[in-house]
Amino acid sequence: MMKAFVLERSLILSRLGGDEEIFTMMADLFLQDVEGIASAFASAFSQGSSANVMREAHTIKGLLATFSDEDGAAAAFTLEQQAKQGHIDGLQPAVTALQQRLIEVADVLRREMGRAG
């Protein structure tokens, strides 16, 4: 089970050279795309395409890593590797957990952006 996501804004900003504008842009893009990403992931899984599940998990891994979500990125990586080997049977709980993680990160970002704006 993953720990609750905590946004470490200062860590992310340090990686972005302290650029608040880039951080805001990245967060806005994530928030605009998160529902589509979660649904593309669910679709890939329901279609039984391990190649598509692998691709979607890879995308999610990168997005979560962008926001320093080590747990979420690690879970996406594990799922990506399983799909790469063609093993997607029985991954529904992991797919669901990753979708919930995307929503959790989005909720935290929305709250943070609300404070920052």
Let me know if residue 5 belongs to a domain: no
Query: Does 5 have pLDDT greater than 70?
Result: yes
Into how many domains does the chain fold? 1
pLDDT digits (tens, 9 = 90+) for 22-61: 999 999 999 999 999 999 999 999 999 999 999 999 999 9
Let me know if residue 88 belongs to a domain: yes
Instruction: For residues 32 and 26, give the distance between their C-alpha atoms in angstroms, rounded to a whole number.
Output: 10
- Domain containing 50: what range? 18-116
pTM for the model stands at 0.92
Domain containing 89 — which CATH number?
1.20.120
Let me know if residue 84 belongs to a domain: yes
Residue bearing tokens 């993953």: 2
